Amino acid sequence: MDSRPDRLPRIAAPLAVALTALGWWFGTHLEPLWWAAWLAPLPLLAYALRVRAGPAALAAFAAFAIGGANAWHYLHDVVRVPLAVVWMAILMPALLMVPVTLLFRALARQGRILAATLSLPLAATGLSWAGATLSVHGTFGHLAYSQMDALPVIQVAAVAGLWGVGFLVWLPASLLAAVTAPHADRRDRVQAATTAALVLALSLGYGAWRLRDDEASARLRVGLVTIGGSGDAAADPATPEGRRMLARYAAEIDRLAAAGAAVVVAPESALLLRSHALETLQELSGRHGIRILVGAEDHSDPQRKRNAALVFEPGAGEPVAYYKRHLIPGFEDRYTPGDTRTMLPGAPRTGVAICKDLDFTATGYAHGRLDTQLLLVPAWDFDEDAWLHGRMAVLRGVEGGFAIARTARDGHLTLSDDRGRVIAETSSAGTTAPVSLLGELPLRDTRTPYARWGDAFGWLSLIAAALLAASLALRREHGAPSRAND
């Protein structure tokens, strides 16, 4: 049997890199084409199986680095993070795809088609779990968020979290490349195709079933409101401008309450408060019998500033305060992070989180464990990431089994249910005028498997990939025959 790599035309390398980079660019953009992410790895993997390890590694790095450069404008020009961080955010994921690709290639060239098929989604998923665990930005940019328009796919998050969604996206390209590998036996191809098809069928079948099994146990009318005009600062009611801003919020809340809202959510850092007592909002809450949440820069403690969400309840003497747990490095260094979860009294079972808290799977897991039905989320986005950052929050609801009412400055106002369906949405990006939304949220008594075992699929994937890599080394050490050598 000829063990040399296939002879490919010179155009093969640049073509494979270009096609994968193009698919990755559009499949992982701020508003991605969900199907492009499924197809993107295939040209690169097919090329990698037909060349030596060196060119395969170089092509993998180039393809995912070029495709990942779609984040340059957002990170460098919009968020304005340091240049070194921009380069790291683009090049590190591309660098990690090198061992992932080489593991897949080595297993396939040993004739282990099923192992190769599973190795790529396992390794990519496991490394993404490890990266998110170590990152101060949590799961931002994870492949799973590209699938938020593919509702049957994201239902897998209720079982395996976003790690399971990412696994599914990697699987088809891995399978197609592996079963078309040179010198692969027909039996091995059938075994791999049958196994992967079964995984996909069970996963998508579960997703379709979950979308049908959706009778609501209750419904709640929720209002969302944000008012621009305060720039990058919270409005201080001690100043004339701040009092005008508070009056505008009060007028919008009054209007939403008159239209039937039982809960109204204002955005993150809407006001700067030196005391939790805010008679205007407390009076509105009592007069209409509604729950009002407003995001605030909290200066009530002279020793530490907080990014807070204050919840005003009818008849309460003082609002319930929740403090943001996950702060944006550089932007929010002045704040002290919170360290507790907040559940509000009464029914439905309602929790509170703030913006970046939803970038971390721990938030969805914790509120799933708390049997949360509805999560209220004040937020502040960067205009261009409005879709992505809002959908990241939506996926936490799928994982934990709860609806989400999220109001973002410079982003989207979104009502979503525990299946990830967007019930109502409008945008506040690029406007200084008041923006509001009123919708009826279906609420359910959902208990997800993910709320029991959390991120287990992520770290189990890493272990499984490591075992496959170890088996590869052991077979070589013991001289096991290979269908093709480097």
What does the pLDDT look like over 52-71, one tens digit per residue? 999 999 999 999 999 999 99
Q: Enumerate the β-bridge partners of residue 312.
A: 292
- R_g (Cα) of the chain, nearest Å: 25
What pLDDT band is residue 470 in, cutting at 50, 70 and 90?
Answer: very high
| Run of H or E including 308 | strand 306-312
Mean pLDDT computed over 82-91? 93
What pLDDT band is residue 330 in, cutting at 50, 70 and 90?
Answer: confident
- The whole-angstrom separation of Cα 404 and Cα 395 is 10
Q: Is the pLDDT of residue 481 over 80?
A: no
pLDDT, tens digit, 9 for 90 and up, residues 279-310: 999 999 999 999 999 999 999 898 899 999 99
* Domains of the chain, residue spans: 12-213+454-477, 218-443
| Run of H or E including 119 | helix 113-134
Q: Is the pLDDT of residue 148 over 60?
A: yes
pLDDT, tens digit, 9 for 90 and up, residues 165-211: 999 999 999 999 999 998 889 999 999 999 999 999 999 999 999 99
Cβ-in-10-Å burial (0-12, 13-18, 19+) of 418 comes to buried
Phi, psi of 370 (to 5 degrees): -85, 5
- The whole-angstrom separation of Cα 299 and Cα 32 is 39
Over pLDDT 70: what percentage of the chain?
Answer: 95
Q: Is the pLDDT of residue 130 over 80?
A: yes
Looking at residue 229, what is its pLDDT?
A: 58
Q: Contact at 8 Å (CB) between 372 and 343?
A: yes
Looking at residue 376, what is its pLDDT?
A: 98
Looking at residue 6, what is its pLDDT?
A: 65
What pLDDT band is residue 429 in, cutting at 50, 70 and 90?
Answer: confident
- The whole-angstrom separation of Cα 475 and Cα 470 is 9
Q: Is the pLDDT of residue 478 over 70?
A: no
- The whole-angstrom separation of Cα 97 and Cα 39 is 16
Looking at residue 53, what is its pLDDT?
A: 96
Looking at residue 485, what is its pLDDT?
A: 47
**Which residues have CB under 8 Å from 420's CB, separation 6+?**
148, 151, 154, 155, 157, 394, 395, 397, 398
Looking at residue 62, what is its pLDDT?
A: 98
pLDDT, tens digit, 9 for 90 and up, residues 95-105: 999 999 999 99
Q: Is the pLDDT of residue 2 over 70?
A: no
Q: Is the pLDDT of residue 139 over 80?
A: yes
Looking at residue 254, what is its pLDDT?
A: 96
Mean pLDDT computed over 423-427? 96
pLDDT, tens digit, 9 for 90 and up, residues 197-252: 999 999 999 999 999 877 888 999 999 999 975 566 788 888 999 899 999 999 99
Kindly state which CATH superfamily the domain 218-443 is placed in.
Carbon-nitrogen hydrolase (3.60.110.10)
What pLDDT band is residue 461 in, cutting at 50, 70 and 90?
Answer: very high
